[in-house]
Amino acid sequence: MPWQHIQIARFGGPEVLELVTEADLPRPGPGEARIKVLAAGTGFTDTFIRMGRYPDFKGPLPFTPGYELVGVVDALGEGVTAPAVGTMVADLTVVGGYAQYALRPAATLVPVPEGVDPAEAVSLPLAYMTAYQMLTRAARVEPGARILVIGASGSVGTAMLDLARAMGLTAIGTCSAHNMGLVESHGAQAIDYASGDFVAEVRQATAGRGVDAAFDAIGGAHFARSFAALAFGGVLVGYGSQTMATGGEGLIAAGLGLARLKFWTLLSPLFGRRRALWYSITDHRKAHPDQFAADMATLLGWLQQGRIRPVVADRLPLSAAADVHRRIAAGGLGGKVVLLPW
């Protein structure tokens, strides 16, 4: 049976995303399940992978991109008894999602509750999971806490704002002037990062106290500004290095940013008991797969209950993948663009 997927044969711009037709369906091996993909999430991380700038994936080539998927179990490999054929599941794939069919380790699949929209559910494995685990497992924020979200109009940023509302947190988000309305629509205070000193604005917004937790994916030298916005005993969580990925800073600057996180924590008593740490969703999942499964189940339950509301900005076919990557690079999407392989 013919089927289609997006293939990358060389790293580069959006033009390297090629729609390919295969003659025969892939067969699941021992421990695997074949998934008929109903929705594939797209995002900024996919563009880094496409360019060969993502540290957790450098090939081999060719490969199919796509960091997350939701689909129905279509066939089981040897030794697999669950989830059963016909079960809708979600998974964090890193690559492989932009396809009509995908082979996945059965053990990593999380069942999706009945009645959940696959396009909304596919917003959870990367952006919402990153935001949720940083809030609950890294920063361990309590209800009523004040948080600062750097780049609040991005996919992880908007997920964090949505979760902050659901968890009873007060959020401040930095963004461009163009996206301030989007951030405010999530119930957060928006700060235009380009118009002045956002640290001073955070201090003013918190009556000089600062925030209990800050979340920064920009990395490098920017970590210092986010750390300066913390209250006594606050925590900075770094989870990316966008300046390096986009060519704004080099590897040395990115490395110095990570070193700062360790330095501030090591000497926390000298910095008002403020501390800093690094979070990686792929590293955390490898170390704590049980937590990933439990947290995904929680988020899917919240989605089913209407407690969280992912924004799906567009639903497009696989053939639109290159155009989607161009839109992601331009920014201002205001939500998740989802590829519908069928």
**Dist. CA 5–CA 341, nearest whole Å:** 8
Output the pLDDT for position 259: 76
Across the range 173-194, mean pLDDT stands at 91
Q: How many CA atoms lie within 13 A of 24 on its CB side?
A: 3
pLDDT band at 248 (very low <50, low <70, confident <90, very high): low
Most confident of 54-58, 119-123, 184-188, 217-221: 119-123
CATH 3.40.50.300, applies to 3-123+311-339: no
Percentage of residues in the chain having pLDDT higher than 70: 94
Output the pLDDT for position 283: 92
Output the pLDDT for position 244: 47
> How high is the mean pLDDT of the chain?
92
pLDDT tens figures, 283-337: 999 999 999 999 999 999 999 999 999 999 999 999 999 999 999 998 878 789 9
pLDDT tens figures, 266-277: 888 888 899 999
Output the pLDDT for position 101: 98
Across the range 215-237, mean pLDDT stands at 90
Q: Strand runs (DSSP E) across 61-133, as ranges?
A: 68-76, 88-92, 101-105, 110-111
Q: Are 19 and 100 in contact (CB under 8 A)?
A: no
CATH 3.90.180.10 residue window(s) in the chain: 3-123+311-339
Would you say residue 221 has pLDDT above 90?
A: no
Q: Which letter, b or e, does each residue of 265-292 get, where b requires 16 or more Cβ atoms within 10 Å of its Cβ? A: beeeeebeebbbbbbebeebbeeeeeeb
What strand order describes the sheet that includes 230-238?
189-192, 170-175, 146-149, 211-216, 230-238, 275-278
pLDDT tens figures, 8-44: 999 999 999 999 999 999 999 999 999 999 999 999 9
Query: Between β-strands 101-105 and 110-111, what pairing exists: parallel, antiparallel or unpaired?
Result: unpaired
Output the pLDDT for position 254: 57
pLDDT tens figures, 97-153: 999 999 999 999 999 999 999 999 999 999 999 999 999 999 999 999 999 999 898
Would you say residue 246 has pLDDT above 80?
A: no
* Domain spanning 126-282: CATH superfamily: NAD(P)-binding Rossmann-like Domain (3.40.50.720)
**Minimum mean pLDDT among 219-233, 253-267, 268-282, 287-301: which range?**
253-267
Q: When comparing pLDDT for 308 and 241, which is higher?
A: 308
pTM above 0.85, yes or no: yes
Output the pLDDT for position 99: 98
Across the range 80-98, mean pLDDT stands at 97
Helical (H) or strand (E) element with 173: strand 170-175
CATH 3.40.50.720 residue window(s) in the chain: 126-282
